[in-house]
């Protein structure tokens, strides 16, 4: 599984942080799950990723056919909302 972060085009928020409870480093988790691993069809993947907002971490399996087919529409949808995809590591850098 790969994670895709979403930022506002200019000054995005940062991803979701979850305390570890043991004093260690915080863990980060996705907050938008596209069920692409179940091969539901590109339209379903695109619709689910539509829930992303600035600071979201999106779960996507980039090797799945439905994910590949949905990606152009996902990128257009994000851009239309003033958002841009970034790697999770870039999103979580403070």
Does residue 44 form part of some domain?
Answer: yes
pLDDT, tens digit, 9 for 90 and up, residues 19-53: 445 555 566 778 898 888 899 999 999 999 999 99
User: Do 42 and 34 meet the contact criterion of CB atoms below 8 Å apart?
Assistant: no
Q: Is residue 10 domain-resident?
A: yes
Of 81 and 92, the one with more pLDDT: 81
**According to the model, what pLDDT value does residue 87 have?**
85
- Residue 40's nearest CA partner among 70, 72, 4 is 70
pLDDT in tens, 81-91: 999 998 888 88
In this prediction the pTM is 0.70
23 lies in some domain: no
Structural domain range at position 57: 2-18+28-92
Mean pLDDT value across residues 69-91: 92
Distance CA 84, CA 80 (A): 9
Instruction: State the sign of the Cα–Cα–Cα–Cα dihedral 29, 90, 73, 56.
Output: positive
CATH number for the domain including 71?
3.20.20.370
Q: Cβ distance 56 to 67 under 8 Å? A: no
Q: Give the chain's domain count.
A: 1
């Amino acid at each position: 599984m790969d994670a895709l972060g979403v930022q506002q085009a200019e000054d995005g928020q940062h991803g979701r942080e979850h305390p570890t409870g043991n004093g260690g480093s915080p863990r980060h988790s996705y907050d938008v799950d596209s069920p692409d691993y179940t091969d539901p069809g590109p339209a379903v993947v695109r619709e689910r990723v539509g829930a992303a907002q600035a600071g979201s971490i999106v779960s996507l399996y980039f090797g799945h056919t439905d994910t590949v087919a949905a990606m152009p529409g996902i990128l257009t949808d994000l851009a239309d909302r003033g958002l841009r995809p970034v790697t999770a590591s870039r999103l979580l850098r403070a």
